[in-house]
Structure 1
Amino acid sequence: MVSVPQRFAGFRSASSVLADPGLSRTQKKAALLSWREALNRQTPASGKEKANRARILKDIGQALVSLEKSGQASDEWKHRSRRRLNTGG
């Protein structure tokens, strides 16, 4: 019987990866993608494990979307700041 990893690299949830102030955006994305890959490599043995795996995969997917959105907002802010500096306004 193969157990579905409930934790990854000491993180209890995808949101705990996002909340870690010691990780860069790139590191957070890498950790989430690695966790997802580890889950996808394993075949859950029971219905409960399948449900847990599906829940964790959904959480990871939502965290990746959130991370992407925050990156886009940050990139947009940087672009606006540069434009203001270049136009003097």
Structure 2
Amino acid sequence: MHYTVYCLDHDGMVERRLSHYDAHKAYLATAPVKMVMSGPLLAADEETMIGSFFLYEADDIGQVVRFNANDPFNEAGIWKSVDIRPFLKRVDNR
């Protein structure tokens, strides 16, 4: 099953986000679930990072919840909200 993880930052987190980026990137490399895609969410200016998006493939949502909870961005208090949901992929044009 696929799962989306949609995280929105607290206001003013760009510098904190950048200071934790290397730890976040290293942590993602240890994922016990398959990372299909990920990247920062952007503000309307298409430059300012305001959150994170992940698409995982995993056996169950619990694996994704546990992995996301220990992400350095989450532990650093960058994310204001985290929404994890099952996703039924019907089209993939990659």
Tell me the TM-score normalised to structure 1 length. Answer: 0.34
Answer 1 or 2: which has greater helix percent. Answer: 1
Q: Which protein is bigger by CA-based radius of gyration?
A: 1
Answer 1 or 2: which has greater strand percent. Answer: 2
* Greater relative contact order (CA < 8 Å, ≥ 6 in sequence): 2
Tell me the TM-score normalised to structure 2 length. Answer: 0.32
